[in-house]
Every structure is written in structure tokens, then in C-alpha cells.
Amino acid sequence: MNGTTLERPDVAAYVDAVRSRLADLPAEERDDLVADVEASLLESGETPKLPPQEFAAELREAAGLDPAAPASVEGSPLDSLRAWVSSERVASWRATAGELAPIWWLARAYVAVVLLAVASNQGWPIGADQQYNEVSLEMSVFALLIAAGFSIWLGLRGRREARSHRRLAVAANAVLALALLPVAAFSLAQLDYGHLGSSAVYVEPVPGLVLDGAPIRNMYPYTRDGTPLFDVLLYDETGRPLDVLTGPDDMSRRILDTVNGTQLFNSFPIRYFEAGTTTVARPELAPPITVPKLVTPPLEVGLR
């Protein structure tokens, strides 16, 4: 059976444990030995019966290499570090990290895209820093998908092939890992700011009455048989007077007053005086409508 260590985490863990037992060898020697072992285990479809440390010892002996030096109690700090890196505990951590690597591949893709978007003055989501462009969630998601695909491809390639650019890969991953927390904090801040909550830019509220974003200039009530009504007072659901906000400065508007002299701005339809006069030339003027045929539902619907 063939495959990759991504599909066989048991093989990945075993190979990592063997690699840790060869930590004292030159990197090229170790990588070549482990690459042969990894490829063979993947093809055989099973892990060897020997524990990793015995497998590594047999491998060393057969390859004519010196046996692994026992961990020195009084060694230098570097020796202690090497021994710790070779320990089974670290091997187990590395195996677990190997299994979780795909999560990191996705995270680093996100970090890289955000860093690039911010560095290119696009902001995040893409377009957030552009004064005249709208935030493009679609573009942002597209960039993330491309980056995620590339990152996964790199990750799989790194597992499958000899680590030809290992140092470069380690450095790039380290930079992205360092940027992970700042980018996460930045993204959360953006979320609070509202960039991620909606694909629309912030729109200044239009004062007065609005229908589909356009201000309403007048309203014409009719009875059910199509007769226009005049000087109808309109209120919203909380009892607030509806006002189209033409304002008191609109001198040609015919404004109703209360007996106390208070002006009412919620009487509809609004009618206007002829220019320079105090006469409404066509007081019955109303937009032509088609009266619909109505079916009156009962005011109380009972269940039978």
C-alpha cells in the first residue's frame, strides 16, 4: 500500500521516533537513512514490530555507524539539549505535531494573506484600507483559498520529498508563527470594527423616511375603493409622527397647525402653494393608481 505520512500518522510517528534516535548523525546521513525507511514503511503498509529505538539501533549497526552515545549526565548544555531532543517524550510531541500539521498549514496561509494584504495597503479584509473601494469579502475568501491550497501543497511536498530547502522552510514558518498572534489580534479588532460583519461599507443614515435607500418626499393615502385622502396624520408603530423632513424652511409647503399654533409635519399628502401665493392650485392632485380588487379577510380566524 502506498501513500503519504499524512495518510499514515502511525508511520509518521514511527519515522519521527527513529529519526530522533539518529539525531547525532550528520543531517544528510540521517535524512537519507530515514527517507529510505519512510518510503519502505509506506509501501509495506505496516510499521515494523521492533520498537523505534531498537529499529534505529539495528539500522545503525547494519549501516556500520557508531551506536548512539548514551546521554551524558555531566555533558555540556548542548549535549543535554541533544539528549532531550532525542528523548521519547520529544519524539512523541513531534509525532503529535506532525499529525496536527495540516491545521498549521491553514493558519499560516491565513497569516500570510493578511500580512500581504496589509503590506500592500489593501487592508484586511481586502479593500478595507481603500478609501473609495468597497471591502471585498469575495476577493478575501478567494485569496485565502489560493493561499490554503498552496500551503497544503507545500506541506505535503515537504513530507514527501527530501528536505532540500529545510532551513528556508523553517525560517518562513518561524516568521509566520511569530506573526500569528498579532494577526489574530488584528483580525479580532477588525471584527469588532465591523469590517467582517458585513460586505457593505458604512453608509451614512438618510434622514427622514426612506424606501429602498431613497428618501420619500411625499405620501398619498387612499381608501380601499381608491378614493384619495387628504390631511391624514401618520404615525409609526411607537406613535412618533412620520416626517419626510422637508422642514419649516420649505416656504411653499402647506403646513397644518394645531389650535395651539404647533406645526404638524406628519400630515399627508403634503401639498404645495403656487409660487408666490398661498393657494394650492390643484388640491385634489394625487398620483394615478390602479385600485386592486380586495378580498377582506375576517378579523378573527377560528380553527375548526
Contact residues toward other proteins (CB under 8 A) are 2-4, 32-33, 35-44, 48, 50, 55-56, 58-65, 160-162
Least distance from other proteins to the Cβ atom of residue 23, Å: 17
Residue 18 or 111: the one with the smaller Cβ distance to other proteins is 18
Our measurement of the distance from residue 179's CA atom to the centroid of its chain's CA atoms, rounded to an integer in Å, reads 17
Residue 32 or 99: the one with the smaller Cβ distance to other proteins is 32
**Residue in the structure block whose three cell numbers are 499560516:** 108
Residue 165: count other Cβ atoms within 10 Å of its Cβ.
12
Cβ neighbours for 113, distance < 8 A, ≥ 6 positions apart: 140, 143, 144, 147
Residue 63 or 245: the one with the smaller Cβ distance to other proteins is 63
Least distance from other proteins to the Cβ atom of residue 66, Å: 13
Say if strands 263-264 and 214-215 run parallel, antiparallel, or are unpaired.
unpaired
Residue 84 or 153: the one with the smaller Cβ distance to other proteins is 153
Least distance from other proteins to the Cβ atom of residue 55, Å: 5
**Dist. CA 174–CA 172, nearest whole Å:** 5
**Dist. CA 302–CA 298, nearest whole Å:** 9
Residue 61 or 250: the one with the smaller Cβ distance to other proteins is 61
Least distance from other proteins to the Cβ atom of residue 35, Å: 7
| Helix, strand, coil content of the chain in percent (nearest 5) | 45, 5, 50
CA distance from start to end of the chain? 68
C-alpha neighbours within 13 Å on the C-beta side of residue 283: 7
Least distance from other proteins to the Cβ atom of residue 69, Å: 18
